[in-house]
Amino acid sequence: MAAARFIIPFLALVFGLALGIKLPQNPDENPEPLKWWQQEIIYQVYPRSHQDSDGDGVGDLAGIQSRLDHFDELGVGAVWISPIYKSPMKDFGYDISNFTDIEPQFGTLESFKNLSSALKERNIKLIMDFVPNHSSDEHPWFNMSINREGIYDDFYVWKDPKGINSTTGEPIPPNNWMSVFGGSAWTFNEQRQQFYLHQFVAGQPDLNYENPEVTKAILAAVKFWLDMGVDGFRVDAVPHLFENQTFADEPVDPNRPPTALPTDWAYYQHIYTYNLPGVFDFLARFRELLDIYTWADGIERVMFVEAGVPTLDLLMEYYGTPERPIAHFPFNFEFINRVKSGFNGTNIGDVVDEWFTKMPEGQWANWLVGNHDNGRVGSRFSPSAGIVDAFNALVLLLPGNAVTYYGEEIGMQNANISWEDTVDPAGCQVGPDRYQQFSRDPERTPMHWNDDQNAGFSTANKTWLPMHPDYPEVNVEAQKNSTENSHLKVYQLLSALRQTDVWRYGSLESQAPENGSLFGFSRIYNGKGFICLFNFVDEIQTINVPQVFENIPQNATVYSTSVGFQPETAVGTTIGTDNVVIGARHSIILEF
């Protein structure tokens, strides 16, 4: 209607066939109530960057506790906190020197208990990030292993040198295995006169899962946190847990990226160090331990695993089977891996379709567009503001878990970090010429709360990473108080829709036209529904919705639009569904 005032180049869109999506549930049957972990938005907190309470420029647990209102305002029901265990911070917490204590920079076990009970009071679940593959080289276990003390002798993966380099006199590593961060995965230990394996930095020696004592020690740590009342775990880097015991060289990958060097991890096919069958045996035991706690009180303890395996078929194995459940879900990185700059609606449609086609019967999907290891969604694509809202809508409204990385709700962007300010080992390790290709610092800068000094994150003169300079405009307070639409306001509307039966139990129909310009999906339950329409190209698009989607009424109410939506369309107005106009790179949600 409002659209009629505009002269629009009408594109005759030929929509592809319905993407053949399986319904998450048959909406005609009595749906089963969702479990807490299926329903709640999971918000990833990067503790160094959330809120600093003591002015040292690094976020901490008391800081997180002081910002709980934000979770309630977003409708977040679960927080996943990146590692907060004692750590020398060689990989910013993913190098743990005590699995059952808190890093002093973050607080104490006491501050952990305070945070945990404050979250419980608000009915927000707490998910710990657990790192079973390696410890820190400063863990007492490693020291005892160097000294070959009792059961610790082979707690880590030790190997003799292959020989001695005749020119340098240096010991030669046992094989060609590379660290994920570049360079040999082996470091020589003078004292023990052997190499130890580290698939990440040298300060992260790999635990030896061939030794059953290691599994016991690690599961004892898991139990410690379960007894502290946590609701579950995000389990780090699980495909790295086991190594083939022949310790043979890995072959060069014929499909390696053209920029990969022989010292890069991406140069090889990781047939001896990645995704070996033992991984599933270990995770099944981990899951069994969680299930024991679930059985005791009926509240599900959950396991979400990080497994960056090369195909969706391999990833789906991480769900396990009804006889041997593994993860509640493996993280779905498809929007990151397969939706690249220059993407179109068909790419999005393929990701959605393939996930539902390949996911085993009875399992639950999950969606995310960023984390602490990947560039922020707002920066990966065009700077257009609408993209942020579109991706938040995909993540929050498709059937399944929604995982939000801090700052996505306000459209935070990657920061430009100079070589001098670079601290991430993935960047430091490759040097000043290539650090920008590998460093994860740009997506880890502190959260923007307001336009005060350091965006209200810290009173320190210098924060651990520089602040993104756009914080005076892009921050929680500004977006909350703005008289205009904002990413935060859109996010709140999306979050509210998750509380409806349409979101919980609704059917899913998804469509992408053959020309790739659009993507859309509808959710319908008991005659009520909503439809999300995304325009991913630079031209205005007009859609006759009932011609493309099934069961769409003639009129619908505008529920939400992306920030700066064109042509101007007020939320709450009723429009004809046969002529929905969407400006370049914008999105709209209609309710009926």
Catalytic machinery residues: 236, 306
Give strand pairing partners of 561: 588
54 is in the binding site of which of Mg ion, ligand NOJ, none (Cβ under 5 to 8 A by kind)?
Answer: Mg ion
Structure tokens at 14: 């030929």
Q: What is the CA 37 to chain-centroid distance, rounded?
A: 15
CB of 180 to ligand NOJ, least distance (A): 7
Nearer to ligand NOJ, 186 or 592 (CB): 186
CB of 223 to ligand NOJ, least distance (A): 21
Dihedral sign for Cα atoms in the order 119, 120, 124, 130: positive
Determine which helix (DSSP H) or strand (DSSP E) holds 330, and give its type and residue range. strand 329-330
Sole binder of ligand NOJ in the list 119, 222, 237, 327 (CB under 6 A): 237
Binding mask 126-145 for ligand NOJ (x = CB under 6 A): -----x--------------
Q: State the residue for tokens 């969680």.
A: 290
Euclidean distance between CA atoms 246 and 248, whole angstroms: 5
Site for ligand NOJ in 62-101 (CB under 6 A): 91, 94
Q: Which is nearer to ligand NOJ, 377 or 524 (CB)?
A: 377
Which of Mg ion, ligand NOJ, none sits in contact with 56, Cβ below 5 to 8 A by type? Answer: Mg ion
**Min separation Cβ 41 and Mg ion, Å:** 26
Chain positions contacting Mg ion, by CB under 5 A: 52, 54, 56, 58, 60
548, 519 in Cβ contact below 8 A?
A: no
Site residues for ligand NOJ, 286-345, by CB under 6 A, read 306
Instruction: Go through the chain and tell me how many residues it has.
Output: 592
Least Å from the CB of residue 209 to ligand NOJ: 15
Q: Residue 94 touches which of Mg ion, ligand NOJ, none (CB < 5 to 8 A by kind)?
A: ligand NOJ
- From residue 575, alpha-carbon distances to 476, 547, 571, 578 in Å are 31, 16, 10, 9
What the block records as the tokens of 566 is 């064109």
Task: Pick out residues in 347-376 that bind ligand NOJ (CB under 6 A).
Answer: 372-373
Residue 236, contacted partner among ligand NOJ, Mg ion, none, CB below 5-8 A by kind: ligand NOJ
**Residue 580 near residue 533 (C-beta atoms within 8 A):** yes
Distances (CA, A) of 527 to 32, 270, 520, 580, 590: 19, 50, 19, 21, 14
Binding track, positions 161-200, relative to ligand NOJ; x by CB under 6 A: ---------------------------------------x
52 binds, options ligand NOJ, Mg ion, none, Cβ within 5 to 8 A by partner type: Mg ion
* Binding status of residue 274 toward ligand NOJ by CB under 6 A: no
Residue 45 parent element (H or E):
strand 41-45
- The distance of closest approach from Cβ of residue 94 to ligand NOJ in the complex, given in angstroms and rounded to an integer, is 3
Name the binder of 137 from Mg ion, ligand NOJ, none, CB < 5-8 A by kind: none
Question: Cα–Cα distance between 202 and 214 in angstroms, integer?
Answer: 19
Q: Which of 254, 230, 562 is nearest to 382 (CA)?
A: 562
Ranked by CB distance to ligand NOJ, the top (closest) residue is: 94
- Whichever of 200 and 536 has its CB closer to ligand NOJ, that residue is 200
User: What is the rounded CA–CA span in Å between residue 101 and residue 83?
Assistant: 11
| First vs last C-alpha separation in the chain | 17
236: nearest Cα among 356, 93, 354: 93
Closer to Mg ion by Cβ: residue 60 or 236: 60
CA gap 1, 54 in Å, rounded:
55
Residue 86 binding result from Mg ion, ligand NOJ, none, given CB thresholds of 5 to 8 Å by partner type: none
Q: Which residues bind ligand NOJ (CB under 6 A)?
A: 91, 94, 131, 200, 236-237, 306, 372-373
